[in-house]
Structure 1
């Protein structure tokens, strides 16, 4: 996540609630993408440090657990930059120019000079972020699939160029023999079905078969993954997009909650400010007087009820608004209570962390050390494949 300062309810419902679930289902790496922040905000370095620590505190306060996930800062892992550089040697310029968000962001951020090498290359840096950990899955929304797809293409191109070790076929056949006759015959049958008939089910079955083998080395396993698809040794596995449901958190004006729209409630906002903002929310413009009937579908407050209210409460809103049985302040009262109840434990935990900055920095230091071990292991394999292991 790019450090843009304190997080708001849009971040919580759109991303962090997914992270809270995923950290207990997978080995997760969550990092502060401070280099990515510089691709669009390179003229504002004075804001970066505070934004980094504010964001980490918000993560921890919402329940992201350093015991369940690895938390770190991107710029503290120089291997990200090295892998980005090495991948840039093989990545066609046209691949970067065609990423949909490249032109889209230039349009949205016209006030900024984004005609920089860093901005053009940010999808490649994202790919390096993913491939440095040989990630199996990347949690994203549907609008970000293009970023995972270019990562897959870059990994595929890298493996094609550098996975052809001398005697690859002979080494692969020798590895097959180590699995035992029955398993070896099944592997060959599945490989043939995929290469000759394009049977994707056979490919998936063969990959699952390889993962179960305990009598071959990791190197042989990677070699056989590549042999399955007629390529070389898999040095950088192709990640899959893990499409996660992204709740659209409406802002105070009914648009998507975003700092650029000035319609947010931050996760650490004080109680009085939260109550004041919600009380001042615009409502159905047809309800000029208390006894005028309204239409919930035309009211931003109704959008928030869809996030926070149960079916009984929603029915109460629908009926009361259309019949003028409830006023707009009546409608907002249970919302204010629900938002305050959601934010209060976050506020309490955040205050504790604000008062103990050394604890936060220690969590990041430990996570960075673990992440760097993983990234260094990947870079050793990459350097060896390219021929840079003569140091």
Structure 2
């Protein structure tokens, strides 16, 4: 497996010279400074690639080439947006970059309510608190209908938290929920979020699936022509939030989207943490089921609570059997090698590490500290080496 590292380019507080010391050989990055819907011009791509190469890395995956919200809403004449997207793809391919990770989550990307929850024995992590999210939906946004989306105990705790919270507490919660948009230019307060949600009125699960299918039909043929691989990132969290449908949350959803346009170019980013936050998901089994369509992997772990909350765990100590998952990916790599595939290696990156030791105060992107992710990479490297040495790559 190809060890990789997410780097936010000029926006990142971690330098490539520091990343080099982690041992990773691949960089996962994007042009986060380019507004959604605009073309990524070849010259800018080439400059970013040159920065990566000069530091001794390979740019292995684009994460991500964002999809404009109008495409997700199916709003108006989308021909220019699709044309721009295809031109960005062509420019990336011309620079030798052929794997694109993306998501189809409406309005928000990954969503957390706490960016610095305390971890046992020290450190901090990202956390999704079902009571806090319920408080935002029900009491801050006035979405009374959201009560049915949470367990009764979570709703009771939500009301208790809201009644005791200060304006600063509520602003901090809103900031945390918005933090999963590293390249977006829109950040919302409560009133702004209400207005943005109105644009999605009437868009339920079947409608959003239709819009997603149209996107795939517009883009995947071009990916095939360019020799590119697209890999969708699962929903994070894997549940509806803010009344917005999430349609890439479990094995059934993955089966649907891969069949919507059945092509090797239409693939999956296997995110162990996103899928692992759903108690019904068996992540290693999902990896085995869809192995041939996995083009990229995010390896992280979560620990779930009974009320629907979860938090980032250390890579080897959460609810997902990471050793079994890595074994499944190694089996797929071996299958690809045996079949004579030239691009048999699956790039992966350690995802959402704990903030540890000197990570504190560096103000890196939430969930993306240096030491915490390096710990995760080291642990994963050990698992891969151990399985490869023993030849035990499957149960």
Structure index of larger Rg = 1
Is the helix fraction higher in 1 or 2?
1
Shorter-chain TM-score bucket reads: under 0.3
Q: What TM-score, normalized by structure 2, do the two folds share?
A: 0.25
Q: What TM-score, normalized by structure 1, do the two folds share?
A: 0.25
Point out which structure has higher relative CO (alpha carbons under 8 A, 6+ apart): 1
Is the strand fraction higher in 1 or 2?
2
